Amino acid sequence: MKALPAVRPLSVVILAAGQGKRMNSDLPKVLQPLAGRPLLAHVVDTAHQLGSCTIHVVYGHGGERVRAALPDRKVDWILQSSQLGTGHAVQQAVPSIADDSMVLVLYGDVPLLRAPTLEKLLELAGPRSMGLLTVELADPQGYGRIVRDARGRVQKIVEENDASTRVRRIREVNTGVLAVEAVRLRRWLAKLRNSNAQREYYLTDIVAMAVKDKVRVVPLVATHAWEVLGVNDKLQLAEAESAWRAARSMDLLLAGATLIDPTRVDVRGTLRVGRDVGIDINTIFEGAVKLGHRVRIGPNCVIRDSDIGDDTEVLPNCIIERATIGPACRIGPFARLRPNNVLAARVQIGNFVEVKNSTIGEGSKSNHLTYLGDTVIGRDVNVGAGTVTCNYDGANKSTTQMDDGAFIGSGSMLVAPITIGAGATIGAGSTLTKDAPAGQLTLTRAAQVSLPHWTRPTKRR
């Protein structure tokens, strides 16, 4: 049987040392936010999607702020104390890379590259070839041009500041992303010189070296220009945000979701949808969110790290965070589910109701102006308007339990820890500090007083 070829270890080098002066911001360029995460985080996460690899991040401006922004990412941090060009940046990383590795060079300010594109690029790189990602632009100003010979073979890359008028007419440009064997990369980097208009060591110069050494430079032309969009100022950052939003909306539409306006849905994480899901305008999804079949999301909602069951409707202007919501529930409008709530089937949480760290049983409802914190609610419980679970004594949180079939009258204060028994009724306006027995009416009432000779105060003249 023929032996399978050995899989070379992959080393990903991410260049993230740029200052980003054009951002006009105190925040380092690679930490500028895209879809709620730093630009650099997007690139690192994409690299991890390539499978087993070592990720080297070359950082400079921003120093420890850059490292601190990605504390949980498994990367090798390499400081570039002086920014002398892209070639110099990669030179800082190669001592940490074994000669038998395949090296993939990425950029911390190019956040929209997809893993499938990079996988195709890696397939083009081998013992006698280099993979080079290029793109054709209608306006190539500012980019290094790809110079090919008469047979269409890549010969070199010429930076715009060093390009002739003829070369500047070329529309195919360099993205900077390439894949090459480490042993060759190391040798070519040692030959770099800074004899150019910027007095920098250009990584792009290794393309001409590869051609001279008879190593094929195999270009992969990016299908979508937005995928290789570099972010250097706030205008480009906004363009990248729009491109991200459009790509995520396209994914949702192809998955069968109905979007009232695809330009006004923001997915800042991952969103999985069932069949016949409907999403209205100005909705934001953060973290990992799952929507079951036939879920309806109204306008102006923010949903974070939550699982919403089949046939549930979220009405306008709701905020939902780290919640598990069962089927056929009705949430909102203007409801807030703070972290750690579990709602069973057919639960109703209405307008101006806030729920935190609570479990609510099937068919229970709280439709108006209520706070439920650290609460365990059984089945078919009705919580009247203006009810407050007084769960915090200034030092500790305590639990309020409402058993099956309980009815809580409007304006009730339930001072935890407290249990409302099954089928109990709490009279409106009550303040309870002791358990309410099952099946009974419990209420507190102060004597009602009317003063016939009382006069309302008036303003002094």
Split at pLDDT 50, 70, 90, the class of 62 is confident
pLDDT digits (tens, 9 = 90+) for 128-163: 999 999 999 999 988 899 999 999 999 999 988 889
* CATH of 250-442 among 3.40.190.10, 1.20.1600.10, 3.40.50.300, 2.160.10.10: 2.160.10.10
- Note the pLDDT tens digit of each residue in 362-379: 999 999 999 999 999 999
Give the H/E segment covering residue 284: strand 283-291
- Report yes or no: 206 and 188 within 8 Å, Cβ to Cβ: yes
pLDDT at 63 over 70: yes
CB-based contact 247:262 (threshold 8 Å): no
Task: Report the pLDDT averaged over residues 112-120.
Answer: 96
**Would you place residue 1 in the very low, low, confident or very high pLDDT band (cuts 50, 70, 90)?**
very low
Residue 195 has pLDDT above 90, yes or no: no
| Whether residue 20 has pLDDT greater than 90 | no
CB 185 within 8 A of CB 89: no
Per-residue pLDDT tens digits for 271-292: 999 999 999 999 999 999 999 9
Task: Report the range of poorest mean pLDDT among 20-34, 60-74, 331-345, 417-431.
Answer: 60-74
Note the pLDDT of residue 303.
98
Mean of pLDDT values over 230-236:
95
Taking the C-alpha atoms of residue 10 and residue 158, their distance in angstroms, rounded to an integer, is: 28
Note the pTM of the prediction, 2 decimals: 0.88
**Domains 10-228 and 250-442 belong to one CATH topology:** no
The full set of domain ranges for the chain reads 10-228, 250-442
pLDDT one-digit tens code per residue, 385-418 = 999 999 999 999 999 999 999 999 999 999 999 9
Element (H, E) at 336: strand 336-337
Task: Say which CATH superfamily domain 10-228 falls into.
Answer: Spore Coat Polysaccharide Biosynthesis Protein SpsA; Chain A (3.90.550.10)
pLDDT the model gives residue 461: 82
- Catalytic residue positions, numbered: 368
